[in-house]
């Protein structure tokens, strides 16, 4: 597993604490110890009668000789402690339990859903809620977001994939999801951490108590924590990519932008329009101050009428620097489309058709970029340029609000960790502390101060020179 210095690990864990987004619920029960009761004496093997394409449950992976080892194995390609990591450290394993908490039940009551643990709207992301015909006899809905939520139904490849000469491609042909593909992995994460037409968090759910959704692939993977080996990590084979996690970061942001734009386009067809969760939450939900102390009034209302809440463009605010490094001509086109979309969305009653067209055009450009970004070479110079460019754009990013600031903090943290691991920053401790300070300024989003956040970003930039 990727070795992250203890201090960096604690700062990355701050993402979970500050933003409340390591899982979709803010209220999750405390970590349980390794529980044999989750699997009990359940047979880990699925009988042939269960058939291919069925979901078998995490107990099928829990044997110590498979993925249930307490300690990671260094002699094999896989760590073999993946199940142990999931059940002890990963909040996904407790996602279903969040539905039975006081907050979960209260939210369901406000939304008129009955019991949260049986409401399809909640189960869509808090459990692996597949049709009964696709559940093997060992499957249990209450096990939350488990192995097959990401890796696909295991019954077809569960036994064969342990064979010595078994190829990964064979597992894919039998139903395994290709998480090695960064774009597809991001899409899988975003199916809940952003949402789709089938499962989503909208303004109604946020009003009932559900946290708003943030995401950044590399940061969230570290907080998860990772239970897989990646190219470039210590002990990886010769010739592997030491800057793989920078690729993970940039590809993840490209896919996130594309998916968010496609979601916006689809929401224009909904009965509730405009959908307020697409806007900047804290433009309305913030601590009130005397007018002379209002940074929002001082910042102005460029491109919109005072009183009209602005669109949440945070998924482009920071990623824009990556785009301009990779493809200047496409970046200019995307800048123009995003600006047009932002002005459309920052009206009190946005034109559905115009928004859908602008969002679709922007999504197409984001798709073009995601392919280039995923295949681009990454090295110390590129990583340092991104660190410097993003931290230098302090006033612009900070002025776009809390969501953009959160994206900046996560991105700078990820890039710093990657660079420091491979090249060793001469002022590593100072940078680590200063980047940590960005997260501290986000602990109370309602009282967010862009001037303070911009000053902190400039301190990061000064340390990078």
pTM tops 0.85, yes or no: yes
- C-alpha 158/C-alpha 176 separation (Å) is 9
- Report the pLDDT value the prediction gives residue 28, as an integer from 0 to 100: 29
- Report the pLDDT value the prediction gives residue 298, as an integer from 0 to 100: 87
Contact 147, 86 (CB under 8 A): yes
> Tokens standing for 2?
């990727």
- Report the pLDDT value the prediction gives residue 235, as an integer from 0 to 100: 56
Give Cα separations from 150 to 48, 85, 146, 234, 342 (angstroms): 23, 15, 8, 25, 33
The tens place of each residue's pLDDT in the chain, 465 residues long, gives 444 444 444 444 455 445 443 333 333 223 333 333 343 333 344 444 455 689 999 999 999 889 999 998 877 778 999 999 999 999 999 999 999 999 999 999 999 999 999 999 999 999 999 999 999 999 999 999 999 999 999 999 999 998 988 999 999 999 999 999 999 999 999 999 999 888 999 999 999 999 999 899 999 999 999 999 887 666 566 667 899 999 999 999 999 999 999 999 999 999 999 999 999 998 888 888 898 888 888 888 888 999 899 999 999 999 999 999 999 999 999 999 999 999 999 999 999 999 999 999 999 999 999 999 999 999 999 999 999 999 999 999 999 999 999 999 999 999 999 999 999 898 999 999 999 999 999 999 888 999 999 999 999 999 998
- Report the pLDDT value the prediction gives residue 2, as an integer from 0 to 100: 46
> Tokens standing for 224?
């998860």
- Contacts of 313-317 with CB under 8 Å at 24 or more apart are 313/338, 313/342, 313/400, 313/404, 314/400, 314/401, 314/403, 314/404, 314/406, 314/407, 315/253, 315/256, 315/257, 315/260, 315/407, 316/257, 317/396, 317/397, 317/400, 317/404, 317/407, 317/408
Query: How many other C-beta atoms lie within 10 A of the C-beta of residue 118?
Result: 12
- C-alpha 400/C-alpha 198 separation (Å) is 29
Q: Is the dihedral of CA 260, 275, 403, 197 positive or negative?
A: negative
- Report the pLDDT value the prediction gives residue 233, as an integer from 0 to 100: 67
- Report the pLDDT value the prediction gives residue 27, as an integer from 0 to 100: 31
- Report the pLDDT value the prediction gives residue 289, as an integer from 0 to 100: 86
């Amino acid at each position: 597993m990727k070795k992250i210095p203890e201090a960096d690990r604690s700062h990355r864990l701050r993402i979970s604490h500050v933003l409340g987004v390591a899982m979709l619920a803010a209220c999750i029960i405390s970590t349980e110890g390794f529980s044999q009761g989750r699997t009990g004496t359940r047979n880990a093997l699925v009988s042939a009668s269960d058939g291919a394409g069925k979901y078998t449950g995490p107990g099928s992976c829990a044997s110590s000789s498979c993925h249930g080892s307490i300690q990671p194995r260094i002699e094999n390609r896989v760590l073999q402690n993946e199940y142990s990591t999931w059940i002890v450290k990963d909040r996904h394993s407790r996602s279903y339990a969040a539905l039975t908490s006081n907050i979960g039940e209260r939210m369901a009551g406000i939304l008129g859903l009955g019991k949260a643990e049986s409401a399809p709207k909640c189960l869509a992301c808090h459990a692996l809620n597949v049709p009964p015909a696709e559940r093997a006899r060992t499957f249990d809905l209450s096990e939350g977001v488990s192995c097959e939520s990401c890796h696909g139904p295991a019954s077809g490849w569960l036994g064969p994939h342990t064979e010595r000469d078994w190829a990964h491609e064979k597992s894919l042909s039998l139903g395994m999801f290709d998480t090695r593909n960064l774009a597809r992995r991001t899409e899988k994460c975003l199916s809940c951490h952003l949402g789709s037409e089938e499962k989503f968090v909208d303004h109604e759910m946020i009003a009932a108590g559900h946290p708003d959704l943030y995401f950044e692939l590399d940061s969230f993977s570290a907080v998860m924590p990772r239970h897989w080996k990646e190219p470039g990590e210590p002990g990886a084979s010769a010739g592997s990519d030491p800057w793989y996690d920078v690729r993970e970061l940039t590809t993840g942001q490209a896919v996130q932008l594309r998916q968010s734009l496609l979601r916006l386009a689809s929401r224009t067809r909904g009965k509730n329009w405009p959908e307020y969760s697409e806007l900047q939450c804290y433009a309305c939900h913030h601590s009130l101050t005397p007018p002379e102390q209002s940074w929002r009034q001082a910042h102005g209302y460029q491109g919109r009428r005072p009183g009209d809440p602005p669109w949440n463009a945070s998924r482009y605010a920071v990623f824009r620097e990556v785009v301009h490094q990779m493809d200047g001509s496409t970046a200019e086109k995307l800048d123009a489309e995003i600006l047009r979309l932002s002005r459309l969305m920052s009206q009190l009653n946005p034109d559905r058709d115009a928004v859908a067209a602008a969002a679709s055009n922007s999504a197409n450009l984001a798709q073009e970029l995601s392919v280039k970004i995923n295949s681009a070479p990454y090295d110390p110079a590129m990583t340092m340029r991104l660190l410097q460019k993003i931290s230098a754009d302090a006033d612009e990013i900070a002025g776009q609000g809390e969501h953009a600031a959160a994206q900046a903090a996560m991105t700078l943290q990820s890039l710093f960790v990657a660079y420091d691991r491979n090249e060793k920053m001469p002022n590593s401790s100072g940078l680590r502390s200063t980047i940590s300070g960005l997260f501290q300024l986000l602990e109370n989003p309602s009282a967010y101060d862009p001037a303070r956040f911009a000053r902190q970003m400039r301190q990061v930039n000064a340390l990078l020179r």
